[in-house]
Structure formats: structure tokens, C-alpha cells
Amino acid sequence: MITKIPQEVKQVLQALTDADFEAYIVGGCVRDLTVDRTPKDWDITTNAHPEQVQELFPDSFYENDFGTVGVKVDPFLTVGKKDREHDIVEVTTYRIESTYSDNRRPDEVEFAKTLEEDLSRRDFTMNALALDIQNNLIDPFDGQNDIKKQLIKAVGDPAERFDEDALRMMRAVRFASELNFTIEDETFDAIKTKNSLINNISIERVRDEFVKIILSDYPRHGIQMLHDTKLLSHFLPELELGIDVEQNHHHTLTVWEHNLQALDKCPSKTLEVRLATLFHDIGKPESKQGKDRDCTFYNHEYISARITKVIMNRLKFSKKITDRTVLLVKNHMFYYNVDEVTETAVRRLIKKVGLENMKDLMDVRIGDRLGSGTPKAKPYKLRHFEYMVDKVSNDPINVKMLKLNGDIMIKDLDFTPGPQIGAILNVLLAETIEDPTKNTLKFLSQRALLLKNENLDTLQNLAKDKIQEKRKDDDDKIKDKHWVK
């Protein structure tokens, strides 16, 4: 395993041992090496105190209360910059931690004398591993055996570990989701008992662990465990409302089962797409009308979008991520039939969703279909839809794609700068979406001059009416047809 360790990490390790200090690679990076994953981060622990580490590495910095020194590798590294993965290597002194009165951070940190003391404060046995310069594995809590058993097991008393840092409960589920492991029974029971402590953790930290679960290789596994441990109810209760909610005869799964299965089958690794896939039907319990297999869920996509926005704001996602996720949820029910939907309708959908979001919307639909038990991710209709999107992608779908613009209108058509220009361009866009052949400078200039004497309100209403009238045609097709995912 030592051959997989970056050169700069090995050289920091060697420099410490040459100075007669104990030094080990420790924690998650050793776990990742054990399961043949490439570590993202490398941590070194040592019995050297921070001032001793700094004396050994003069070009280093110590700016925290946790005994961690940032060692800059440039002054002593013998390999070139292209050969290394890290410019800074973190070196932390053995430490033990006192009580955790807020279930989040230790009240104080004390330096320990031995590696075993340091490893005893770790969260899970698989993370309480250390590796020395001779490639010897130190494993006082049998973490390697738990890895072989694919178990997430707390170090020592799991209840004490979660009292120390309640986020460890989320981390347990996240590791299980990333590695496809199960949580050891005593550890699992402790999470169920202590689940309410998660409310003592900032929502941002909870969100970050949730995101890692969503982006893992086994996200359905993770979401199910969040439910089984009762953690999910504290930050995402809306999702659990779909449990036991049966759907109509197009579905064999409940809303809850379908949402999780759709997430599991989603082909995209993009966060917004995976979130949208998980949330796309979250409004069905609220929109359900009727009983048994004859029930309906009219307008559930709009209710789902509203609920999604509430969730995203609660979890403090950025506006950009929130808006894209809500957009995908709101539009996941787009209707497409080869014989009925025209190029104009496709252009209108592209205008509403954005060309840059069309692939993501398709990935939500694929997850939706496969999550319903449909054998084909892309039937002929969806493949034809992709062809149509590509075909019309160069047609005008926003005012920037019109041959006429405000500068030309002012310079050549004697328009006065102001909001009237934008209103006229919106009217012209609505017309060229219907017929792209109208997107010529000559035609648009003539139309603009005809509209020049209209007041602003009339122009805005005209553009709005043209767009809404056509969108209503598309929406009516959705409602009038039996839409099958």
C-alpha cells in the first residue's frame, strides 16, 4: 500500500521518523487504501507537538486549536511540482478530547502520548487505522475485519461517540452509502436512540453529508437508512409522506419506493439532477385525488416544485442550485408524442427550460421511467425527442438569437431607447418561435415598425398572450392524454 502514497506525503512521514518522532498515516486514507479506493485526503499523526513540527519544517503554519500544522512541501521535496498531488500536507499531534457539551465540538483538546489513545477518539473502527513508514498496519479496534465484513461500527460505546459529535450519525449513513456497507446492530440502535441530537448540528453540516449520500454510488441505500434510523424526519420529513401512498395503474410502487428507485436509476452524477429525481414526485401525496388504482395526481409537478423550493431553502442550498433543481422538477412531466408535438412545441419547451438544461431534464425522465419499472430508459419517443431538440437548437428561442436587436432599432429604425424596445423584441420572439423563417432582419424590422405606435402595456400583454396561448395548447395535450412514463 505504501507505493500508492503520494511522494510528498511519504517524504513528510520520513522526515518526522528521521527526527526520531513517531509518525503514521491515519484515518480515512488508510481505510480507502484497504478497500482499494483512491484517497481524497491524506492525514499524518505524530507524537511531535506543533512547535516541534514547525521547527522541523520552518515553512509551515499553525492556525488552529487542534494541533494541526500545515506543512508546505516546496522547501524539502525532491520531486518536481508536476509529480506531486498536494502543496500542503497536514500533520496533527496525537490528541484526546474532553466532553462535548454541545454534541458538536470538544470543550477542549489535549495532546495524547500514544497512537492508541489518538485512535480511540475516532468515530468508526474502519477509520481508526494507521500505517507506518514500513507499511505496517496498526489496527487496535479490529477495523480491518469490520471492513472485510462490510460493517460500519463505532469505536467503543456508540452512544458516547454520537454524544460527542452527533454528525457522526449522518457520517455513518454516508459511509454505508458510499461503500455499500451496513451499519453494525449496536451502532444502528444507538443512532435510532440518539437521532434527535442531529438537531444540535448546523443545517449546513447536515446538508453536506446529505449531498454526499445523494452523490454516492448507492444513494437509495443511504436514503432508506436515513429513514430507518429516523434521521430523515428531522431535516426532510416531506419525503416520508410518500410512504404507503399507492399510485394508479401505471405504477406498481408506492410514491416513496418510486422516488428512491428513480434516484437509484438516475444516470447523472450532477447534484441538481439527482435532487430533482428524488423530489420529482414529492408533491403526489398532496395532489392525490381518488382511491386505489383509479387515483389521479393532476398538477403534482407544480406542487412538487413548490415543496422542493421549501426544502432547498431550509437546507440552505445556493440560489443557483435551488433554481435549477426546482426548474427540473417543475418540467419533468413534459409531454412528447412523435405524431402530435411539433418543432414549435419543442422550441417553446427549450425556451421555458433552457437549452443548457435539456440533457439534465432528460436524465430526470430516464430515472423516472426506470424507477417505475420500465425496461427501456429511452424508448423511441424519447430518442426522437432528443433528435428534435438537436434539430431546433439553432432556432431562435431567446431575444439574443433574433436578427434584430435594440442597437439596430435605435440606429436604423429611429426607436427611442427604453422599455418599448424590449417589449417589441419579446413579441417578435414569440412569433419567430412559431415560425423560425421569420427570423430575418427585413421581416423583423418591418414588424417592429408596425408595432412602434403601440403602448408598452399593449406590447407586454401581446407577448404574454402569445406565449400563454401556445403553452396552454401544450398543457391541454398533457391533461387530455394518458401520459405514460
H or E element in which residue 32 lies: helix 28-34
Please state whether 253 falls in left (phi above 0), alpha (psi between -120 and 50) or beta: beta
Instruction: Output the average pLDDT for the chain.
Output: 88
| pLDDT at residue 202, as a whole number | 96
pLDDT confidence of 466, banded at 50, 70, 90? Answer: low
pLDDT at 481 over 50: no
pLDDT confidence of 485, banded at 50, 70, 90? Answer: very low
Q: Where are the beta strands (DSSP E) in 3-49?
A: 23-26, 43-46
Contact 358, 350 (CB under 8 A): yes
Which residue has better confidence, 434 or 177?
177
3-state secondary structure of 111: strand
8-27 tens-digit pLDDT: 888 899 999 999 999 999 99
Contact 174, 222 (CB under 8 A): yes
| pLDDT at residue 478, as a whole number | 38
Cβ-based neighbours of 157, under 8 Å, separated by 6 or more: none
What is the number of H-type helices and E-type strands within the chain?
Answer: 24, 11
pLDDT at 475 over 60: no
Judged by average pLDDT, the poorest of 77-86, 210-219, 292-301, 431-440 is: 77-86
Angstrom distances, CA of residue 365 to CA of 215, 379, 420: 18, 11, 39
* Cα separation, 93 vs 96, whole angstroms: 10
pLDDT confidence of 477, banded at 50, 70, 90? Answer: very low
| pLDDT at residue 105, as a whole number | 65
Tell me what percent of the residues of the chain surpass a pLDDT of 70.
Answer: 87
| pLDDT at residue 380, as a whole number | 73
Phi, psi of 90 (to 5 degrees): -90, 130
**Residue reference for cell 443512532:** 191
354-385 tens-digit pLDDT: 989 999 999 999 999 889 876 666 667 778 88
pLDDT at 166 over 80: yes
| pLDDT at residue 65, as a whole number | 66
Contact 215, 274 (CB under 8 A): yes
97-139 tens-digit pLDDT: 756 666 666 666 789 999 999 999 899 999 999 999 998 999 9
| pLDDT at residue 348, as a whole number | 86
| pLDDT at residue 463, as a whole number | 80
415-424 tens-digit pLDDT: 999 999 999 9
pLDDT at 52 over 50: yes
The structural domains of the chain, ordered by start, are 2-143 (3.30.460.10), 150-235 (1.10.110.30), 240-392 (no CATH), 399-480 (no CATH)
| pLDDT at residue 74, as a whole number | 64
**Average pLDDT in the 336-353 region?**
80
**Average pLDDT in the 148-172 region?**
96
